[in-house]
Structure 1
């Protein structure tokens, strides 16, 4: 848990920002066939998720305020796994937490990649770069996601489904195996492994709902397998169709790549109809993005990947799914 406490941070030289984006939907990753499973653990919560066909919601990418861009110990875009947190703030939603941390991180010296509750998954910092959430060593290794505390069994089930999906999605995105205790770890495990923090989350909060990390691993394994085999968490391989999502079947998916730079420059559409470069954000080469529309400006075709963030045609290396 971050829990508004100061946590040891690392100060590393910054690279050009590849921050979170206010996405138009959800990016569906395209990957290989390797599948690994977690050992199943009996869980009333996981049974409830399965029996009620609860589907995780889409990941929303927001532009966060954390301005420290440092690569992991193996380099930019090379995390080693995901740390599981919980906020220790009863009743605070993902939106509440995002607002708080975007405002207060310079004072509390703490930030994570994403916040999750029963309705939303909000990613606020590029997973290509580290954050300040679990001590110096863990910060240099892991993507970090916070689970918000909720009030009912149904809300808890939906929130852990969202957190497990986010975790599985990141593992698949970065080509990482699903290895409980190694590529997916709790803050409690991080504290015991590295001794740089004393936090024990989410163990206590999970226990309140009769849940455990072993049961969470089982859920992550389920979504990991579905993403590896289908490209989505639904059995038919289609877009996520939960009623809480903003998925749109008319959306396309593009892969971006620049031949002249190690990142892809973004553009914004101005009021006068011209395009201008965005100087403080960029996309990672080879990354996949959902797009919902195109525009032709002065003979150049642009694909929209966020509310007002566009990629020119010459930086689109592959159209994985065309616009309907």
Structure 2
């Protein structure tokens, strides 16, 4: 469709410069880690009634969506407010409308998600809630927009008791086009690629919020204050006395994998929530699947 900086933030910002130069692009996992490490707070979902006057049920009935379609606006300059205004004024002419628009600052829901919209062809329209992600132009704003998009998707899945199933209950417009052949749009694939991101990483972010919201009612499981009370030593400071950065590793079935495109800057502090001991070495978790050996602690 057309048309608080804490120690973790400072450390991630330094790494973004170290590994990405001055571009906005980052590895997809870095974006999710940036969101989680800094506990970026998703915006509150605003419910405003828009002008779309076509009230039709999903194929299974009113209030029975089967999942959610992720769109991207393809407009370099429009905010969520801009998009809401445009579609409220022009949907009869452009013959398009979605449930919500998301940017780095706002989540605006403009049509009751109990009913369908015109966003991705007749088949998808009769099955899915649909949300448009607005473009941003810097790393932090992109991360915040992803947090908002993932939070909206997770919240809607939970609202309608829909399971979190990537590529089944969460789909891109690109997947819809390839599956039903009723539209030729490929969003948000191209935009995500330009940011070094992907739908698979968005699935991970949605799943993270989905599980936390389902079990605790909080996007991050527990508040930072609660976590500190449970584990007052949850911040570590790292340093590699024999190098210019601190290496990271990942684990798959307790098999260690060296991470080659990410590292921690020396003399930086990181929040950690888990430890594990592998072959006599203790590792501290600093991101979703990124760990630092205890030998690098200051």
Bucket of the pairwise TM-score, normalised by the shorter protein: 0.5 to 0.7
> In the alignment, which residue of structure 1 is the partner of 2:109?
123
After the TM superposition, list the runs of 4 or more consecutive aligned residues in structure 1 that deviate by more than 3 angstroms.
none
Secondary structure at the aligned position of 2:108 is classed as strand
> In the alignment, which residue of structure 2 is the partner of 1:273?
none
> In the alignment, which residue of structure 1 is the partner of 2:169?
183
Secondary structure at the aligned position of 1:76 is classed as coil
More helix by share: 2
Higher relative contact order (CA 8 A, sep 6+): 1
> In the alignment, which residue of structure 2 is the partner of 1:74?
60
Deviations along 1:194-228, whole A, 9 cap, x unmatched?
00000000000001110001100000000000111
Deviations along 1:121-169, whole A, 9 cap, x unmatched?
0000000000000000000000000000111010000001100010000
5+ long unaligned stretches in structure 2: 4-26, 225-298
- Cα distance in 1 for residues equivalent to 2:70 and 2:154: 12
Kept after mapping to 2: 8 A contact 1:113/1:125: yes
- Cα distance in 1 for residues equivalent to 2:220 and 2:190: 30
> In the alignment, which residue of structure 2 is the partner of 1:149?
135
- Cα distance in 1 for residues equivalent to 2:203 and 2:104: 18
Secondary structure at the aligned position of 2:123 is classed as helix
Q: How many residues align?
A: 201
> In the alignment, which residue of structure 2 is the partner of 1:95?
81
- Cα distance in 1 for residues equivalent to 2:221 and 2:59: 36
Tell whether 2:49 aligns with 1:48. Answer: no
Kept after mapping to 2: 8 A contact 1:118/1:158: yes
Question: How does the TM-score come out when normalised to structure 1?
Answer: 0.61
> In the alignment, which residue of structure 2 is the partner of 1:312?
none
Q: For 1:253-264, what aligned pairs fall within 5 Å after superposition?
A: none
* Alignment equivalent of 1:85, drawn from 62, 71, 80: 71
Question: How does the TM-score come out when normalised to structure 2?
Answer: 0.66
> In the alignment, which residue of structure 2 is the partner of 1:3?
2
5+ long unaligned stretches in structure 1: 5-40, 239-324
- How far off is 1:52 after superposition? 2.0
Larger gyration radius, structure 1 or structure 2: 2
Kept after mapping to 2: 8 A contact 1:114/1:122: yes
- Cα distance in 2 for residues equivalent to 1:229 and 1:237: 14
- How far off is 1:43 after superposition? 0.9
Secondary structure at the aligned position of 1:43 is classed as helix
Secondary structure at the aligned position of 2:89 is classed as helix
